[in-house]
Structure 1
């Protein structure tokens, strides 16, 4: 396995994969080794820094813009964790930010690649633009002007929240910046550029509102406001040509939204809405009400919006808690005989071995999330080569689930243990050791997720099988009996709990001795059970 690239003090930030590249910079998905979390790292390419003086200027601008980004203080802007000029390499600048898993509006507007563009429901478009307004209102209050607002810089996260990217550093990382004179510069993207920005006149928050009008028009019409053959034509259209009213392109667009788009696209800044809050107020009638049902995705041209998460959720279910149900594990399909190759490809064998070793090292240092992701990466490759039910693949999945459980990520570990238990039960039998181990771990996860009743039932069922096969005195049986006793107490069944733990204590005195650490632990549990406090379940 290739050595991951590390930057920062003592190699704190580990770069895993490049996810975006531009003329002046690259964006990487990585990990913070100290906090064990995914991050996005934006790097300035060293080859674009021509001199130490230029590097120093970049460093000053980078630090200033990073501070401004951090000051915005809104969840719709990816959080800034660190901004660094690497002292070991003076021309290496980087910004460490929150990593957002989301879908770009550009991907949605591009469509499936067959020439068709799926138009978003009106409420979806309004919800996206309304969330952008909220972000802009926070930025403009500083004041900060984005200057490059466009679908490429907007993500919709998995929970439907909108994230606006590249505040402040867009002028450093954009490849489509055109410098005009030494005293003025045109910074932005020509397809979304307001007339005053084209003319190198004063840029204000109203300039962002023009770009927002371009985004609103494109979300509702499925095409840009202007589509010149070259940059000169585009700039001329923004300066001189009136935009087409939305209802001439899509009749079902409400009149209020058509009027709002035209006002945002006014050539003169003073003729646009006064601020982002005013835009939000005009969008409000087109937003779903709290408690309302989701719009169906019967899109005008068919298809779906490229898997776009529902951006109306934040208005239909404001401040909703995390869903209580655990997402189901991917279906493994029917169990069929899988041909096992005569030998495992050497590269795959080495990748599996390295993933185990790398994951173990990460888990040992408390970096459980990254340790699990290392295993996840090789599982997909191994499953393709060996089959989903190959013993090596199942072993990798068990190890990943165990790592998640060790890192107390019970929400993700539980469905994997459930799925593995089902596979082992079908292939090796319900009494197989692997089946029972996965069921036991699943019960443990449920207990820690507050699902005490279901966890108790599963512990008892597994204990029955283990006891029938090996008696009540095996190491596994003793552990299960302890879990049953504690969960009985948590369910308020004190008499039953005392009976289970009392019998367990007697057996452990015989098997391990009264002074053994685990025997004393059960004695303490009984003392607390019989006293005023009682044991603490998990």
Structure 2
């Protein structure tokens, strides 16, 4: 990439400000949003790779970049965008005005940093790691070069997610075939060096201990030129105390670093949240652990400089608070990274709508394929407010008669900016950007121009993801009509818009209409694409889902089964789309009362997803949750309770203790405890979950009311019928107010209330006769 080159029609590259094993970092300008940014260009993919491996590589990069973009903390570098240009993968990040710790040590002649700076850096890095570890994200390559101290004293960690991507895919030249970084073993945990141990958040804590050791003393824990000696040191040598190098260091810092450098992960602090308090107090002793065996291949490693710069080079541009985005931050929402919506990749968007463990949740229908090839709308937590430029209405209006190439480029850039917001899950902002582009493209190109309709399609998509289904339906309808006029009724883009129309109709509960549209789109896709084209199968999957919602379970099951078999043949048994349809097959088996078969399906889906995505991935946990429902239905309450307990722990690790998914797992645990006759424990769990749901979701939320009903059930089984009746009445009154008197859930609540009243009166008469 040459100087001042424009990539993706948006990012103007000016000068290289850093180089390393993974690629180059450029100072650049985001011309769509008018701000300065840093663009990291990873090493070219290379023509020697086969197409299949390139596809996997790009998908892994997108996955890891989404992880980085989802992180929101003042101590983590903001990732704005990512993509590929001419075979080069790139990340767009905030432009930092500062120096990384490796550079600070070099500026200081390799002398240690001042004590107050060491303590301050330790606390800030620990806070950032505590946050990321709560999100289930491990850095894996923490070192001085990846930690930047800004001019105002703030500290930021760089390269989250990308270090693992590089290690997994051989982008850095400092890798062996095993994927272990060869150049800088000075900050690697023993489990990373060994290659056989589990890599979790405690590996980051060990690396942090190495970093703190170096900035506090001026040398890494094992300051040796021989790689073998460095590895042996990490394996079985307790490093010299910091105060043996520098007596003025606080004792608490000395002991903390030695604990962080414990050989066994379980001997280190439990999490990064313990670090800041210990900087002030500290434990009485440091900990250590027995040595571990050194891997046989370790002799091939070569020593590199302890603090090699690989990410942030000298950032010489003047600091501008209006564009550097280092001051204002938004609170992390701790949402789980959800799967892609499937328009470009075919991945199912699984719903996370809460439900009681007695009611299995189906897989959601996938969206139609995007009209913007290669575009991926993954739903992620927002990462702060991107300052968008004011719409260029005046210039557009002045150029209606003769749109210039420059004007069209501006509109294309704004369109891409909207796509980027959607990719980060910020759908309301994306909708507003696309709305202005629709208006201005309509003025200069015409309402039925393909570019205008493409922007209107993206506007509708963003509205649907913002739960504005009625508005989305109107826009998708307009796109469908416009594309039918200009492209034809069977054109792929026309069918994509019609399929999204059906998707939104389903979101509005209008399943009969959705079924009619899906059936028509399916017939057209079979005519134009064939019965087993991926887009045809995606439409048939959605049709199966809709048939289930209409209560036509036998047809839904047969259709889903056929789609699952076809996807397995075409894509493979463990492909995400195949597993999505198998998830739907399992759901339909449950609704047909075939709980044993459903359990088998859910377990197989969970096992395949664990292998492909990880045991704690949201999709894996979703399948395991449904397996818990099946266990309950089969009367295997002990197994269900154990499973829900594991799920609650996994959800707490990945999305936090108050996330709706965590609370759903805990609710399932409470139900299972009741089935085991442990009603005191069940009641306590129901009360705890209800309290959290009230605070997080609101007192009138359906999940909160489900928990309140569970409280009433527990009270009834414990013979506390007056209290139980009060809870049943609250549920019935709330549902009457929010859903209406004739709603099925309201009628069920009234039946519960009547049953409890009758039981209380019957017991009262019996007690009266007894006395």
When normalised by structure 1's length, the TM-score is: 0.49
